[in-house]
Structure 1
Amino acid sequence: MPPPPTSPPAGRSSTGPAPADVRGTDPGPAPTEARDTDPGADPGPAPDLDSAPDATPPSAVPSTAVGALHGEPRTRTTPSVSATSDPARDQPPAPTPTSTPGPAPAPQGTRVDLPLLPPEPVGYVGSGPPTYEAEPTALPTADPDELDDLVADTVLDGARYGACTLRAASVRGDSARFRGEPRRDSLLTARFGTGDHALVLVAMATGARATPGAHRAASEACHWIGRAVGRSHARLAEDIRVGRRGDLKSGLHRLTDRSLGRLRASAAEQGIDPEEYAATLRCLLLPADPECRTRVFFGVGAGGLFRLRDGEWQDIEPRVQDITGEPVVGFGSLPSETPEGDRLTMDLGIPTPPSPYEPAPEPPREPFRFRASIARPGDTLLMCTGGLADPLRGEPELCQYLTGRWSGPTPPGLAAFLADTQVRVKGYADDRTAAAVWEA
């Protein structure tokens, strides 16, 4: 047996390969000879994400957008140590007197497999770094007599009820951070009731662009719908458990109309144009009953509703039809009912009958959106405002990154979820608000 190699002199590098490092770092791809010694390993060629045929079902998105990404979690393994390899290469190099000895290498003939890990967090994806800085710079202007009007840069929340784990975050956009403007997005998470009869509401709203009171309008919209749902939570929870989708649709449509009507009334009281004191509104209802897997989405205005299922992103945003009944050609059009039993129901802005106690609100300027779907174990449901929905639809690399991060056996923690929702994309600088639900 030839003598083990010694450390190279200073200024020279060893030409022999480095030994396998089993301390949990990523040593890179395994050598060819290591893969050949493992008869069960057949990694094959890497999938071509751009040229792969579109085999997604009708409810999945086209390959040119979110559903084109079939990325899988990265696997980290140390190279196999072949028992038939050169003994001289199997021996670790002798440490220099000044080096600190590390852990002993793996015995010969053994394979060390590290657990599946998601990709490391990144700051941005896409063609290049965004224009603005990654961290907040200027704070919004404060009025000493209106300190309650201040909005935090970031809001983070989470919970676990029944079979689902909730993560929610709202972050000021890069543009607002640079200009010292308040976050126009508002986020509300609330639980009404106790035990298996409880109902969890996640509401998010976005105020009108370039208006001074946009953040107040968004906050009012969330609070109005929160009060309305809270007062009717027992009936809503029962309708969800029993599956009364028609009652849910009409009831939530009425509550949404009244909440946005209150917002318009508030604008009139302040002497503000209702167009400037308006907000989009998107909500999720999650029953705490572990036996109920129905997830209800409703709202008015732009944003996104996505589902990560079996490693593929699906855009399940309810399609919008105009008053003439003709479908609007766009991204994410879905049939009225999918093979999985997910039904899509919507209204076209029809005003509700006037109440004897208050005037009937005007119909929302955009159609009411509603979707009640049955969750499967392993699903991840994502509801978000336009600040995150737009880059998800426009930058496939962001979808691929989130697929790797959110396909693990356990949901991410609060800090990890916040970091994931903040991954930036050049050309998208709006506020981001997102709520994701992981199904056990």
Structure 2
Amino acid sequence: MPPARGTEDALQQSVQPAPAPAPVIRGPVFPEPVVLVGRPSLGSTPRALPQVTAPAPDSVVDGGTVGALVVRGASIRGDDHRYFGETRQDSMGFWRLAPPPSGGPDAAGADPVLLACVADGVGSQPLSQLGSAVVCRLLPQHVALRFDLLAQRAPLEVLSDVCRAVAADIAAGIRIEAAERRAGPKELSSAMAAALVFPGGAHGPARALLFAVGDCQGFLLSRGGWRPVLQPAGDEGAIMSTATDALPGHPDRVTVTECALDSGDVLLLCTDGLANPMRNDSVLDRLAQYWGDGQAPSLPEFYWQLSFRAQTFGDDRSAVCVWVP
């Protein structure tokens, strides 16, 4: 017996067609990193996970603002370490410090000061990834202890003594870390470069105080061109030797310099994984295009830009860029 008409209509109403699936929203598709030097033979895709004590993540990326300054930073495992399943040995970081103390040349109430750092674990040492991490962990506290001295417009000789004291305290911290891990201090060896960036104000233009131990470097992008502002002692343009000063072994070998910063400038701190390929005009030109238009890139863009490929340059690559308004 067929169902009543009313029942049939009710059944048809209860059976509704399935809603169309919502469209999948995908983010922008980043192409492979551009090749700027030669024809790299190794891919940039990470392979086996590192089998070492306390491996570092493949990559880190960070960014933000400190007062009117805009900062971007990344530390990327190099193609060599990715291919052979080895850990990234670089580290980087940046921090906001309170304005200089009142009574100094930069009065309290001014914009905060930016402290930035890159650290390059010595490749031949088995725990250097820990050493570079310790450098970035300890630097802010030891700079803060001497901030009133570092913020002064003192002669470079005086500032150099203060920077050596900071390096010595960091070296002591690395030795403590090594002892806790029952390792030799040399096994945690790391080069480093740091910059204190003071914003401009009534007392003058923005400026930076930079200091380094080893082969980490600093550059200034100004008016479309790059110039070095912090180089290892004795670096005359040749690609650096694998031998380098490093903490904790050489806290007295500190290179210190100052530079003025104009509106629109970009200050770059980097490990030699970036400094060495920057000896090629193709790299200099492309990075100037990326970072020299007055607009800081987004975090994914900055990571992709820093991930460019370069034959024979497979080292870890770390950089902190500061845009001056």
Secondary structure at 1:276 match in 2: helix
Cα distance change of structure 1 residues 289 and 380 upon mapping to structure 2, 3 Å threshold: closer
Give the distance between the partners of 2:248 and 2:50, measured in 1 at CA: 33
Work out which of the residue numbers 162, 169, 175 in structure 1 matches 2:74.
169
Q: How does 1:270-309 map to 2 (within 5 A)?
A: 270-287=181-198, 293-309=206-222
Secondary structure at 2:188 match in 1: coil
Give the distance between the partners of 2:220 and 2:248, measured in 1 at CA: 32
Cα distance change of structure 1 residues 290 and 156 upon mapping to structure 2, 3 Å threshold: farther
Work out which of the residue numbers 278, 294, 305 in structure 2 matches 1:392.
278
Give the distance between the partners of 2:134 and 2:211, measured in 1 at CA: 17
Q: Which of the pair has more CA radius of gyration?
A: 1
Equivalent AA in structure 2 for residue 287 of structure 1: F
Q: How does 1:198-209 map to 2 (within 5 A)?
A: 198-209=112-123
Secondary structure at 2:230 match in 1: coil
Indicate whether 1:371 and 2:257 are aligned: yes
Cα distance change of structure 1 residues 153 and 250 upon mapping to structure 2, 3 Å threshold: same
* Residues 307-348 of structure 1 deviation map (CA, whole Å, 9 limit, x = unaligned): 11222211222462xxxxxxx46129xxxxxxxxxxxxxxxx
Equivalent AA in structure 1 for residue 183 of structure 2: I
Q: Comparing both structures, which one devotes a greater share of its residues to strand?
A: 2
Indicate whether 1:406 and 2:288 are aligned: no
Cα distance change of structure 1 residues 123 and 362 upon mapping to structure 2, 3 Å threshold: closer
Cα distance change of structure 1 residues 187 and 409 upon mapping to structure 2, 3 Å threshold: closer
Q: Which runs of 5+ in 1 are unaligned?
A: 1-119, 144-148, 321-327, 333-348, 350-360
Give the distance between the partners of 2:49 and 2:248, measured in 1 at CA: 36
* Residues 274-317 of structure 1 deviation map (CA, whole Å, 9 limit, x = unaligned): 33221111111123565550111112000221111222211222
Indicate whether 1:211 and 2:125 are aligned: yes
Cα distance change of structure 1 residues 231 and 259 upon mapping to structure 2, 3 Å threshold: same
* Residues 351-374 of structure 1 deviation map (CA, whole Å, 9 limit, x = unaligned): xxxxxxxxxx98717721111111
Give the distance between the partners of 1:225 and 1:174, measured in 2 at CA: 28
Give the distance between the partners of 2:122 and 2:173, measured in 1 at CA: 16
* Residues 57-87 of structure 1 deviation map (CA, whole Å, 9 limit, x = unaligned): xxxxxxxxxxxxxxxxxxxxxxxxxxxxxxx
Equivalent AA in structure 1 for residue 258 of structure 2: A
Cα distance change of structure 1 residues 399 and 201 upon mapping to structure 2, 3 Å threshold: same
Q: How many residues align?
A: 277
What fraction of aligned residue pairs are identical, expressed as a percent?
26
Q: After the TM superposition, which segments of 4 or more aligned residues of structure 1 sit over 6 Å from their partners?
A: none
Indicate whether 1:126 and 2:31 are aligned: no
Deviates more, 1:280-289 or 1:217-226: 280-289
Secondary structure at 2:221 match in 1: strand
Contact 1:198–1:288 (Cα < 8 Å) also in 2: yes
Give the distance between the partners of 1:223 and 1:245, measured in 2 at CA: 26
Q: Could you tell me how far 1:122 is from its partner in structure 2?
A: 4.9
Give the distance between the partners of 1:244 and 1:365, measured in 2 at CA: 20
- Provide the residue aligned with 1:330 in structure 2: 236
Contact 2:64–2:72 (Cα < 8 Å) also in 1: yes
Q: Could you tell me how far 1:423 is from its partner in structure 2?
A: 0.6
- Provide the residue aligned with 1:141 in structure 2: 51
Give the alignment's TM-score, normalised by structure 2: 0.76
Indicate whether 1:316 and 2:229 are aligned: yes
Q: Could you tell me how far 1:258 is from its partner in structure 2?
A: 2.1
Q: Could you tell me how far 1:125 is from its partner in structure 2?
A: 1.2
